[in-house]
Amino acid sequence: MQAIYTERETYLQAAVVMLQHTVFTAAGIEPAEWEGKKYRVSCGFPIGYRGSRTGKVVIGQAFDPSISADGTAEVFINPILDNPAEVVAVLAHELVHVFAGNACGHKGEFARIARAIGLVGPLTATYAGSDLQSKIDSITAALGLYPTALLALLEHGNLTDYELADKTGLQQNSIGKRRKDCQDAGLVTHYRDDDGNKVKRPAPSGSKAYVWMLTDRGEELAKQIKREL
Ligand SMILES: [Zn+2]
């Protein structure tokens, strides 16, 4: 089934893949071990958010597979969160619930994995310690150029910023910054001709723009994301 994700859910999905590859391994959980787990991650208002009498905001929630019709754990990330680093830290907490199962609550296996991956603070309201924070920073940098753009480069090989905006529908005025973040994260590089010269193609203004391509690491990540979607 080809699911259609919103930009935001695609982002969450890609962040899940990267957390599994770069963060959960610290708890001895290999990426392949997630294959048996059924879960869905989406953006939504968690139960208890609207009209909460305590005024306490629930920022993420993981529901046990037993309450879903098809036995899938449902993870919701509150759309009010718009700081990417915070979103990814909350996502990590919810994924610990998915892996540990909801029976142990915030104790037992949940507590062990949460601490092992670097979540600190009270177990019911964790945040990222400095080691985890730096891993999360590299995840959000890598996702700076949104997954749809990485996938567009995977599909089309090489594109200028203008062509990227055109293929993805992303805001053209923000794509340069996102592409630069991806370049800094080693996911995107200049497309060069056989003589090693950086290739340029005409921009709408009549000037010329550099053409960009995925690095091997960028291509690997894009393929991972494509497999997961
Ligand atoms: Zn929790």
**How confident is the model over 91-102, as pLDDT tens digits?**
999 999 999 988
Residue 137 in this model has a pLDDT that exceeds 80: yes
106/202 Cα distance (integer angstroms): 56
C-alpha 222 to ligand 1 mean position (Å):
30
Greatest distance between any 2 Cα atoms in the chain:
66
pLDDT above 80: residue 206:
yes
Residue 3's Cβ-count burial label (10 Å; 0-12, 13-18, 19+) is exposed
- Given a cut of 60, whether residue 4 has pLDDT beyond it is no
- Give distance in angstroms: CA of 109 to centre of ligand 1: 12
CATH topology classification for 8-143:
Zincin-like (3.30.2010)
* Residue 41 backbone phi and psi in degrees, to 5: -115, 125
Rounded to the nearest whole angstrom, what is the distance from the C-alpha of residue 161 to the centroid of ligand 1? 40
Q: Would you say how long the chain is, in residues?
A: 229
Position 128 scores a pLDDT of: 96
- The ranges of the chain annotated as CATH 3.30.2010 are 8-143
According to DSSP, residue 34 is labeled G
> What is the whole-number distance in angstroms between the Cα of residue 16 and the centre of ligand 1?
16
The CA 82 to ligand 1 mean position distance, Å, reads 19
Per-residue pLDDT for 28 more than 60? yes
d(CA 63, CA 74): 5
Q: What is the DSSP string of 200-218?
A: EEE-TTSSEEEEEEE-HHH
Ligand 1: centre distance to CA 97 (Å): 7
What is the 106 CA–ligand 1 centroid distance (Å)?
Answer: 6
- 94 CA to centre of ligand 1 in angstroms: 6
Q: Which helix (H) or strand (E) holds 188?
A: strand 188-190
Question: 44 alpha carbon to ligand 1 midpoint, in Å?
Answer: 16
Adjacent-strand bridge partners of 198: 192
> Cα(2) to centroid of ligand 1, in Å?
30
DSSP state of 109: H
Cα 56 to middle of ligand 1, angstroms? 14
Q: What is the pLDDT of residues 144-170, one digit of tens each?
A: 655 677 788 888 889 998 998 888 777
- The average confidence (pLDDT) of the chain is 80
Centre of ligand 1 from the C-alpha of residue 196, in Å: 51
pLDDT of residue 2: 32
Range(s) of the chain covered by CATH 1.10.10.10: 151-228
Residue 110 DSSP one-character state: H
The tens digit of pLDDT for each residue in 103-113 reads 899 999 999 99
> What's the CA gap between 56 and 48, in Å, rounded?
9
Taking the centre of ligand 1 as the mean of its atom positions, its distance from the CA of residue 148, in whole angstroms, is 30
Q: Does CATH place domain 151-228 in 1.10.10.10? A: yes
| Contacts with 224 (C-beta within 8 Å, 6 or more apart), sequence order | 17, 21
Residue in 192, 198, 164 with CA at minimum distance from that of residue 178: 164
The Cα–Cα gap between 41 and 14 comes to 10
Q: Ligand 1 centre and the CA of 221: distance in Å?
A: 28
- Quote the ligand 1 centre to 122 CA distance (angstroms): 10
Q: Are 13 and 5 in contact (CB under 8 A)?
A: yes
Query: Cα of 224 to ligand 1 centre, how many Å?
Result: 27
Give per-residue burial for 158-181: e unless 16+ CB within 10 Å, then b.
bbbbbbbbebbebeeeebeebbeb
Q: How confident is the model at residue 229 (pLDDT cuts 50, 70, 90)?
A: low
pLDDT of residue 13: 81
